[in-house]
Structure 1
Amino acid sequence: MSGNFKMLAKTLYGFEPILAKELRNLGAGNVEEGVRNVTFDGDTGFLYKANLCLRTALKIMKPISRFRVFSEKELYRQVYDIDWSDLFDHDKTFAIDTTMNSEVFNNSLFVSQRAKDAIVDKFRATTRQRPNVNTHDPDIRINIHLYKNSCTVSLDSSGTSLHQRGYRISTNIAPINEVLAAGLLLTSGWNGTTDFLDPMCGSGTFLIEAAMIACNVPANINRSSYSFMHWNDFDDELYEKIIAASLNKTREFHHKIIGYDKAPSATRKAQENVDNANLSEYITIERKDFFRTEKPVDTKLHMVFNPPYGERLQIDVEDFYAKIGNTLKQNYPGTNAWLITSNLEALKYVGLRPSRKIKAFNGKLESRLVKYEMYEGSKKAKYKTDTQ
């Protein structure tokens, strides 16, 4: 597998432009945004780098065959014709994921089963041995995408989703997805040039992702395995060079990243995760009730947080969100405060007018990422100063 080839990176709704920008910054070619995905060109080394460094990608797929299919027999034959033993050995386990909107098939499990039969039969014919299926934790993941009569067979180079960074060993109720956290931070404009606060930090995901962005630490540096490591062409020496080159691009961070939570179990778990991510020198975690705090720095402050929605954590929504607004208004001048919530009704109780409101999804929950700009002094005074 030498030279450039087409790849596809999967992402969350709304993050396609952010992921495309990440890919261009990494050096990808022919970057094109799709729906919850971005396609691009690169070589094997870039495939490794994409898995290691991309913050808003969930999977990196490598298409290996595209064909038209009009029957079950055609599907079997086309999958059988792929040289599977060139791609991975018979002693590797594998699993097949099928996504489809097909005019020919109406059952994705059936498609996966017939593809599995074709792969096993091909191995038996060429090596007289067969790989085993492991749907829980396979060495090799294969993706079949059917749209009408068009079929794409891809190798999933990532394996488990790339949001599983490897640093989070402790979680609280309703932890935020790491890819979602990184995408929200990048959407908010966080770039490490100010101080940062998550006033309801939970298990510390926003804090860790913010520190990795600020220091340009590869997103998945703490992750130990990917599916591409089980491919026949895996180049361990090249992969180690990619890691070294990526770490060589890290930078120092000269501001503060602070996390508050009033629950002792949350601050303990957050600290464990920060320590596990090797970022404790950049992040300070304190047990505090946000509603009884004041801005911890005199300079500009960037705030991003994920307050309870009333879904899993029971709260008095009206009172809780009113306190958020009052605390920001009274105690946090000079702050750009961003919060995400799926409780759209709750936003009415904040009592502040957001300067931005962006649609996002937290899992299956349609949410809004909103920005509140808290000025030094009154907003009127700021405008007067700006126009003088």
Structure 2
Amino acid sequence: MNKTDSAPRKKIIRKRAGEHKRYASGFLYQQNARYFAQISEGLIDLGAKELTALGAKDIEADQRGIHFTAEKSAFYRINYCSRLASRILAPLVTFSCEDDETLYRQVKRLRWEQLMSRKQTFAVSANVSDSAMDHSQFAALRLKDGVADYFRERSGKRPNVDPREPDLLINLHIRHNRATVSIDASGGSLHKRGYREESVTAPMQETVAAAIIKMSQWDGTRPIYDPMCGSGTLLCEALMAQCNIPAGIFRERFGFQQLPDFNPELWRQVKKAADDTIVDIPPGLIRGSDISEVSVDAARTNLMGMHHGNRVTVEQMDFNDLAPIENSIIVANPPYGIRLGKDQDLELFHRQLGDFLKQKCTGSTAYIYFGDPDYIQFMGLKASFRKPIRAGGLDGRLARYELY
């Protein structure tokens, strides 16, 4: 090879060495301490306030959630205590990406041995929009290939993929031909609190229930009641909020424990500080009921596994037969406990619910979540607000009713 032929090759080698050096200098989150919280649409403002209270700074919202900066202790605290975020992402790298080969090459340049061993498992979640690559599953597959081939080329063996309980969960987001590869620092969706030992059909998502409790501004000075409690999600979230129980208290591990700069002692201190704030509540402050025996049993089981869950009372009762519930906060997610399949049944059901609130809940404020907002019209009550909460595939509304 003559000198002329070798010049371009040397240039390519220098370029690749520079890229390798850039990645080797630390992952993106290590360089800027910036993370991303996935939060459902409609909860962004509420989520920003929660993140700020937990120590987040430089908050910037976008359509998928919130970008924020945090010291390591606040980063751990947010993962452990956030009730509204569905997951926290720690970005590894971002780059221009217009095709799958670019994605594959860039992924292989990351130092994956700093995040997992060849014997550990991993999984990938991907979301692609408004880009030349238009298939999320294919993008996820190419990322998997990049990670697997990284290890194969160094050890001769590929790590296994485990979509259910991976040691490392990798997140890929591509929008406007810009890719960001992140580690799911939560290690799976944070809405899975771990208290739901028993469930019912179509249970309310925990983050939505937590948002309803926050939006009600319930502070424990008045009792709170759920007359159609199902498996008790609203009751559990009310209990966790009032007792300062960290949302992640039942999680056995978090994804941030796989990060190369994980500090076990700092994590222990953050966890202990949060756990030490747990307080008791008086009996009767949080109560609920449901017409379904199965639902009541499920709610009681879920509550009994929680700190101070024995302070919450749950009865089997049709809400139409309840004694008056005055000067309280009422929360509910209708319909309850039984399968009402016909539109006429649901219309009647909501008329009865409206009558119950008007006649038996004087002096109270009700917060009713409608998975289908069309049924608000049958309540026979004027809502003082209707706030959108889009989560779990539902374009729901939370309506507040002042009951005089």
Aligned pairs for 1:221-236 (under 5 A) are 221-236=249-264
SS in 1 for 2:373: coil
Counterpart among 307, 318, 325 of residue 334 in structure 2: 307
Answer yes or no: is 1:373 the counterpart of 2:373.
Answer: no
Task: Deviation per CA, 1:305-356: give whole Å up to 9, x if none.
Answer: 0011899533612221111121111111110011111333322222111111
Which residue type is aligned with residue 334 of structure 2? Answer: P
Which residue type is aligned with residue 25 of structure 1? Answer: A
The 2-side partners of 1:353 and 1:320 are apart by: 17
Q: Is residue 169–residue 188 contact of structure 2 (8 Å, CA) maintained in 1?
A: no
**Residue range with higher mean Cα deviation, 354-363 or 246-255:** 246-255
Q: Is residue 309–residue 341 contact of structure 1 (8 Å, CA) maintained in 2?
A: no
Counterpart among 107, 112, 136 of residue 79 in structure 1: 107
Pick closer, same or farther for the CA change 1:31–1:369 going to 2, 3 Å.
same
The 1-side partners of 2:110 and 2:142 are apart by: 14
The 2-side partners of 1:368 and 1:159 are apart by: 29
Which residue type is aligned with residue 215 of structure 2? Answer: T
Deviation at 1:267, TM superposition (A): 1.0
Percent of counterpart pairs with the same letter? 35
Deviation at 1:266, TM superposition (A): 1.1
RMSD across aligned positions (CA): 2.2
Deviation at 1:5, TM superposition (A): 0.8
SS in 2 for 1:317: helix
The 1-side partners of 2:402 and 2:278 are apart by: 30
SS in 2 for 1:64: strand
Pick closer, same or farther for the CA change 1:204–1:242 going to 2, 3 Å.
same
Answer yes or no: is 1:359 the counterpart of 2:385.
Answer: no
**Residue range with higher mean Cα deviation, 305-314 or 51-60:** 305-314
Q: Is residue 4–residue 44 contact of structure 1 (8 Å, CA) maintained in 2?
A: no
Q: Is residue 294–residue 332 contact of structure 1 (8 Å, CA) maintained in 2?
A: no
Counterpart among 202, 226, 236 of residue 208 in structure 1: 236
Counterpart among 295, 310, 316 of residue 266 in structure 1: 295
Which of structures 1 and 2 has the bigger CA Rg?
A: 2
Which blocks of at least 5 consecutive residues in structure 1 are unaligned?
A: 376-388
SS in 2 for 1:268: helix
Paired residue for 1:295? 324
Q: Is residue 99–residue 145 contact of structure 1 (8 Å, CA) maintained in 2?
A: yes
Answer yes or no: is 1:249 the counterpart of 2:298.
Answer: no
Aligned pairs for 1:330-349 (under 5 A) are 330-349=359-378
Answer yes or no: is 1:61 the counterpart of 2:89.
Answer: yes
Which residue type is aligned with residue 134 of structure 1? Answer: D
Which blocks of at least 5 consecutive residues in structure 2 are unaligned?
A: 1-25
Answer yes or no: is 1:171 the counterpart of 2:199.
Answer: yes
Paired residue for 2:3? none
Q: Is residue 28–residue 42 contact of structure 1 (8 Å, CA) maintained in 2?
A: yes
The 2-side partners of 1:312 and 1:331 are apart by: 25
**Residue range with higher mean Cα deviation, 105-114 or 17-26:** 105-114
Paired residue for 2:128? 100
The 2-side partners of 1:44 and 1:124 are apart by: 33
Pick closer, same or farther for the CA change 1:103–1:270 going to 2, 3 Å.
closer
Paired residue for 1:385? none
The alignment covers a number of residue pairs equal to 373
The 2-side partners of 1:265 and 1:293 are apart by: 19
Q: Is residue 35–residue 67 contact of structure 2 (8 Å, CA) maintained in 1?
A: yes
Q: Is residue 290–residue 336 contact of structure 2 (8 Å, CA) maintained in 1?
A: no
The 2-side partners of 1:372 and 1:106 are apart by: 44
Paired residue for 1:386? none
Deviation at 1:60, TM superposition (A): 0.5
**Residue range with higher mean Cα deviation, 78-87 or 112-121:** 112-121
Paired residue for 2:190? 162
TM-score after normalising by structure 1 = 0.90
